[in-house]
Structure 1
Amino acid sequence: MDNTTRLDSIHLGSIQLEKTTVNFDDRFTLSEVDWTIEPNQHWMITGTNGSGKSALAAVLAGVGEIESGTITNLPKKVGLVSFEAQAELIAKELKKDDADIMDVIAIGTPVHEMIFEHCEDQTLAKALVEKFGLTPLLDRAFRKLSTGETRKVMLIRALSSKPDLLILDEPFDGLDADTLAMLQAHLASIIDTTPMVLVLNRFDEMPDFITHVAFLDKDSSDKSSSNKGRLALTIERQDKAAFNELYQLLHLKTTDLSIPDADPTSALPALDPNQPLVALKQATIKYGDTIIVDKLDWTIEANQHWQLSGPNGSGKTCVLSLITGDHPQCYTNDIFVFGFQRGNGESIWQIKQFIGYVSTALQWEYRVSTSCKNVIISGFYDSIGMYSKSSDNQKAIADQWLALLGMKDRADQPFNKLSYGDQRLLLIARAMVKHPPLLILDEPCLGLDDMNRQLVLALIEKICQGSETTVLYVNHHAEDKIKGIENYLGLVKN
Structure 2
Amino acid sequence: MVNYQNPIVTMVDIAYQVHYKTILQDINIEIGKGETVVITGPSGSGKTTLLNITGRKLQPTSGQISFAEEITSKIVSQQDDFLSASGLRVSYYSQRYEKPNEEMVPDVKEYLFKKVTGISQKDQVTILQELEIEYLLDRKILSLSNGERKRVQLAEALLQKPDLLLFDQPFVGLDVHARETLFRLLENQKQAGITLVLVSESGLIPTFSDRLIELVLNEDKPQHLRNGSDALEDKGSNVYPNLETKEKQTYNSIVKMRNVKVTFGGETVLSDINWEVKPGEKWLLQGHNGAGKTTLLSLISADNPQGYVNDLVLFDRKRGSGESIWEIKEKIGFVSPELHLYFLRRRGLYNAAASTQVSSSSMKCLDVVLSGFKDEVGFSTSDSHIEVQIAKKWLHLLDMEHLAAAPFLHASLGEQRIILLARALIKSPDLLILDEPCQGLDSSQIERFTSILNDSCFKNHTTLIYVTHRKEEVPSCVTHFLELEKGRITGSGNFN
Please indicate, yes or no, whether the TM-score normalized by the shorter chain is above 0.5: yes
1:471 deviates by 1.2
Matched with 2:94 is none
- 1:327 positional shift: 0.7
Q: Partner residue of 2:438?
A: 445
Which residue pairs with 1:320 in the alignment?
Answer: 297
- Match among 321, 324, 330 for residue 353 of structure 1: 330
Matches within 5 A, 1:212-231: 212-218=211-217, 220-221=219-220, 230-231=223-224
| Structure 1 partner of 2:9 | 15
Change (3 A) 1:126 1:259: farther
In structure 2, runs of 5+ residues without a counterpart are 92-99, 347-359, 488-496
TM-score by length of 1: 0.85
User: 1:113 Cα shift?
Assistant: 2.4
Distance in 1 of aligned mates of 2:90 and 2:439? 27
Structure 1 residues 136 and 174, CA, compared in 2 at 3 Å: closer, same or farther? same
Aligned pairs for 1:12-51 (under 5 A) are 12-13=6-7, 15-23=9-17, 29-39=23-33, 41-51=35-45
2:411 to 418, 443, 468: 418
Alignment-derived partner of residue 119 in structure 2? 121
Q: Tell me how far 1:288 sits from its aligned partner.
A: 4.8
SS in 2 for 1:351: helix
What is the aligned counterpart of 1:83 among 68, 75, 78? Answer: 78
Q: Does 1:198 align with 2:198?
A: yes
Structure 1 residue 340: deviation in Å? 0.8
Q: Aligned ranges for residues 154-303 of structure 1 at < 5 Å?
A: 154-192=153-191, 193-201=193-201, 203-218=202-217, 220-221=219-220, 230-233=223-226, 235=227, 242=228, 246=229, 248-250=230-232, 252=234, 254-258=236-240, 261-262=243-244, 267=246, 270-272=249-251, 275-303=252-280
Q: Identify if the C-alpha distance between structure 1 residues 342 and 259 changes in structure 2 by more than 3 Å, giving closer, same or farther.
A: farther
Letter in 1 for 2:148: E
Matching residue's letter, 2:14 = T
Q: 2:368 aligned with 1:375, yes or no?
A: yes
CA distance in 2, matches of 1:182, 1:477: 16
Write the letter of the residue equivalent to 1:79: K
> Would you say 1:478 and 2:471 are equivalent positions?
yes
Q: Is the 8 A contact 1:23 1:64 kept in 2?
A: no
Which whole-Å CA distance do the structure 1 matches of 2:4 and 2:101 have between them? 46
**Counterpart secondary structure, 1:204:** coil
In the alignment, the residues of structure 1 paired with residue 467 and residue 461 of structure 2 have an alpha-carbon distance, to the nearest angstrom, of 19
Shift of 1:181: 1.4
Aligned match for 1:489, one of 456, 460, 482: 482
Q: Is structure 2 residue 433 aligned with structure 1 residue 408?
A: no
Are 2:67 and 1:73 aligned?
yes
Q: What is the aligned partner in structure 2 of residue 110 from structure 1? A: 107
> Contact 1:280 / 1:298 at 8 angstroms: preserved in 2?
yes
Amino acid at match of 2:161: K
Asked if structure 2 preserves the Cα contact closer than 8 Å seen for 1:54 and 1:169, the reply is: yes
2:304 corresponds to 1:306? no
Q: Mark the CA change 1:253 to 1:43 in structure 2 (over 3 Å): closer, same or farther.
A: farther
User: Secondary structure at the residue paired with 1:461?
Assistant: helix
Q: Secondary structure at the match of 1:256?
A: coil
Displacement, 1:285?
A: 1.0
Structure 1 residue 309: deviation in Å? 0.8
**Partner in structure 2 of residue 225 of structure 1:** none
CA RMSD, Structure 1 to Structure 2 (Å): 2.6
Name the residue aligned to 2:352: none
Instruction: Go from structure 1 to structure 2 and tell me whether the alpha carbon gap of 1:351 and 1:299 turns closer, same or farther (over 3 Å shift).
Output: same
Tell whether 2:109 aligns with 1:130. Answer: no
Q: Distance between the aligned counterparts of 1:105 and 1:37, measured in 2?
A: 44
Contact 2:8 2:32 in 1 (8 A): yes
**C-alpha separation between the residues in 1 aligned to 2:90 and 2:458?**
44
What secondary structure is seen at the aligned counterpart in 2 of 1:363?
A: helix
Supply the distance in 2 between the matched residues of 1:173 and 1:104 (Cα, whole angstroms): 30
Do 2:35 and 2:190's aligned partners in 1 also have CA atoms closer than 8 Å?
A: no
CA drift of 1:252 comes to 4.4
Give the Å deviation of 1:114: 2.0
Query: Match for 1:463 among 453, 456, 469?
Result: 456
Tell me which residue corresponds to 1:431.
424
* Paired position in structure 1 for 2:493: none
List per-residue Cα deviations over 1:182-217 (Å, max 9, x = no partner): 11111223333222211012x221111123221223
Query: 1:462 and 1:294, CA in 2 relative to 1: closer, same or farther beyond 3 A?
Result: same
Check whether the contact 1:125–1:157 (CA below 8 A) recurs between aligned residues: no
TM-score normalized with structure 2 length = 0.85
Instruction: State how far apart, in whole Å, the 2-side matches of 1:94 and 1:177 are.
Output: 33
Counterpart amino acid of 1:144? Answer: S
Contact 2:7 2:31 in 1 (8 A): no
Give the distance between the partners of 1:462 and 1:94, measured in 2 at CA.
Answer: 44
1:93 match: 86
Q: Distance in 1 between matches of 2:233 and 2:205?
A: 14
Q: In terms of mean alpha carbon deviation, does 88-97 or 44-53 score higher? A: 88-97
Provide structure 1 residue ranges, at least 5 long, that are not aligned to the other structure.
1-8, 223-228, 236-241
Maintained 8 Å contact 1:23/1:65 = no
Q: Conserved in 2, the CA contact under 8 Å of 1:421 and 1:447?
A: yes
Q: Percent identity?
A: 30
Retained in 1: the 8 A contact 2:6–2:32?
Answer: no
Contact 1:442 1:475 in 2 (8 A): yes
Out of 34-43 and 298-307, give the one that drifted further.
34-43
Which amino acid in structure 2 is aligned with residue 90 of structure 1?
L
